[in-house]
């Protein structure tokens, strides 16, 4: 009996157990990749050939044959497509949503004081297209010229004793230089390596890694000249960036909260009130989550009725953004 159990464990580890119905329930791993030119690609891990892909609506309610192969380009697929793949054994995998060609809409920026010994935090830019839930890598650099020449990285992901969301102190050696911020849309969905590594303790906190170059997947901005030093900061770990919240004319709230926070989108009209909530956890300053986008569900809008609707974003109970929009009967 013990031998049979051992053999079963061994076969399971080697992926050799074959069971009809259970096999169909196994999942394939699908990675969404952004190519250097902003187009997309899917790659399936595991399974057996042939791999057959379908292009589907986001809820998988309607699918059409799309392509075959382990690696497939998104060319020909419309924005808002989810790709489903099946292998010869019936295993299934689903991609994140493809939102079309990746394009930079607004450049990255910083918050804080652009001054030697001041604390600054990089803020990701705004992008359209790409993969849902794609990862961002931010980088701060100091450049000799205002046009971004002779730059050196000044943001290290390795800061012992600092919180993940702590802002960066600008070393006085860079007074008079120009602060540059870059936002790189990491090629692979759920890609975790990026520029992450460690900096030796006996090295200064700059010169880490290659300075990111401008490209279709990397947005770059010079945000100002670094002023002379003021009062020296208390260490290298600054405060986290303040939350950022906006509401679009379509009623979509966009929230960034590096230190983590509780978010509520509240809609009010003629004494009626509806809300949706979300919890954002703390994140790395150089590897922030995609901005949270939230809106009131259609059922909540129906309960509020058509007409002028007041939307409010509350962060940790405090009012952060407001906008009045107009809703219509469905």
Tens-digit pLDDT profile for residues 272-308: 999 999 999 999 999 998 899 999 999 999 999 999 9
The answer, yes or no, to whether residue 206 has pLDDT greater than 70, is no
Residue 18 placed within a domain: no
Q: What is the mean pLDDT of residues 50-55?
A: 97
User: Which residues, listed in sequence order, are joined to residue 310 by a DSSP beta bridge?
Assistant: 268, 324
* pLDDT value of position 207: 61
The CA distance from 103 to 34, in Å, is: 11
Would you list the DSSP string of 56-76? E-TTSSSEEEEEESSEEE-TT
Would you list the DSSP string of 171-213? PGGGTTSEEEEEEEE-SBTT---TT-----TTS-S-S-SPPPP
* pLDDT value of position 4: 35
Of 6-20, 87-101, 315-329, the one with minimum mean pLDDT is 6-20
pLDDT (tens digit per residue) in 157-192: 778 888 889 999 999 999 999 999 999 998 875 433
pLDDT (tens digit per residue) in 53-71: 999 998 899 999 999 999 9
- Looking at the structure, tell me whether residues 167 and 61 fall in a common domain: no
Any alpha helices (H) in the chain, and if so which ranges?
2-13, 20-25, 298-304
Of 13-22, 132-141, 148-157, 312-321, the one with minimum mean pLDDT is 13-22
The CA distance from 205 to 155, in Å, is: 7
Residue that terminates a domain, selected from 42, 71, 94: 94
Q: What is the mean pLDDT of the chain?
A: 86
The answer, yes or no, to whether residue 204 has pLDDT greater than 90, is no
The answer, yes or no, to whether residue 233 has pLDDT greater than 80, is no
What does each C-alpha distance from 240 to 111, 226, 304 come to in angstroms?
A: 10, 20, 36
Of 10-19, 136-145, 188-197, the one with minimum mean pLDDT is 10-19
Residue that terminates a domain, selected from 73, 94, 115: 94
Domain that holds residue 147: 103-225
The CA distance from 53 to 67, in Å, is: 5
- At 267, which CATH number? 2.60.40
- Looking at the structure, tell me whether residues 69 and 116 fall in a common domain: no
The CA distance from 94 to 31, in Å, is: 9
Q: What is the mean pLDDT of residues 124-129?
A: 94
- Looking at the structure, tell me whether residues 119 and 78 fall in a common domain: no
What does each C-alpha distance from 61 to 80, 97, 276, 299, 330 come to in angstroms?
A: 13, 14, 25, 20, 21
- Place 211 in a pLDDT band, splitting at 50, 70 and 90: very high
The answer, yes or no, to whether residue 118 has pLDDT greater than 50, is yes
* pLDDT value of position 187: 86
Residue that terminates a domain, selected from 181, 197, 225: 225
The answer, yes or no, to whether residue 205 has pLDDT greater than 60, is no
pTM given for the model:
0.80
Residue 209 placed within a domain: yes
Residue 262 placed within a domain: yes
Helix (H, G, I), strand (E, B) or coil at 6: helix
* pLDDT value of position 14: 32
The answer, yes or no, to whether residue 267 has pLDDT greater than 50, is yes
- Looking at the structure, tell me whether residues 273 and 311 fall in a common domain: yes
* pLDDT value of position 8: 37
Number of domains in the chain: 3
Q: What is the mean pLDDT of residues 214-233?
A: 92
């Amino acid at each position: 009996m013990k031998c049979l159990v051992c053999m079963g464990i061994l076969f399971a580890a080697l992926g050799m157990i074959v069971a009809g119905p259970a096999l169909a329930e196994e999942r394939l791993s699908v990675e969404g990749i952004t190519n250097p030119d902003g187009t997309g690609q899917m790659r399936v891990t595991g399974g057996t050939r042939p791999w057959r892909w379908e292009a589907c609506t986001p809820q998988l309610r309607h699918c059409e044959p799309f392509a075959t192969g382990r690696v497939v380009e998104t060319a020909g697929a419309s924005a808002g497509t989810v790709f489903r793949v099946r292998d010869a054994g019936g295993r299934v995998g689903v991609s994140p949503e493809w939102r079309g060609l990746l394009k930079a809409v607004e450049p990255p920026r910083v918050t804080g004081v652009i001054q030697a010994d001041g604390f600054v935090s990089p803020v990701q830019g705004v992008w359209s297209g790409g993969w849902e839930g794609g990862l961002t890598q931010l980088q701060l650099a100091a450049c000799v010229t205002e046009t971004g020449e002779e730059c050196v990285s000044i943001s290290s992901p390795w800061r012992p004793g600092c919180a993940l969301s702590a802002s960066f102190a600008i070393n006085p050696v860079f007074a008079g230089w120009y602060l540059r911020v870059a936002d790189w849309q990491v090629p692979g969905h759920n890609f975790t390596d990026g520029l992450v590594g460690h900096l030796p303790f006996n090295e200064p906190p700059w010169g880490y890694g290659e300075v990111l170059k401008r490209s279709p997947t990397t947005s770059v901005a010079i945000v100002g000249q670094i002023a002379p030093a003021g009062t020296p900061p208390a260490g290298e770990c600054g405060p986290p960036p303040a939350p950022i919240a906006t509401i679009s004319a379509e009623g979509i709230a966009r929230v960034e909260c590096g230190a983590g926070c509780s978010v509520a989108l509240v809609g009010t009209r003629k004494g009626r009130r509806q809300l949706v909530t979300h919890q954002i956890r703390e994140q790395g300053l150089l590897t922030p989550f995609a901005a949270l986008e939230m809106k009131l569900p259609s059922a909540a809008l129906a309960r509020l009725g058509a007409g002028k609707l007041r939307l409010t974003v509350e962060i940790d109970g405090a009012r952060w953004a407001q906008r009045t929009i107009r809703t219509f009967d469905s």
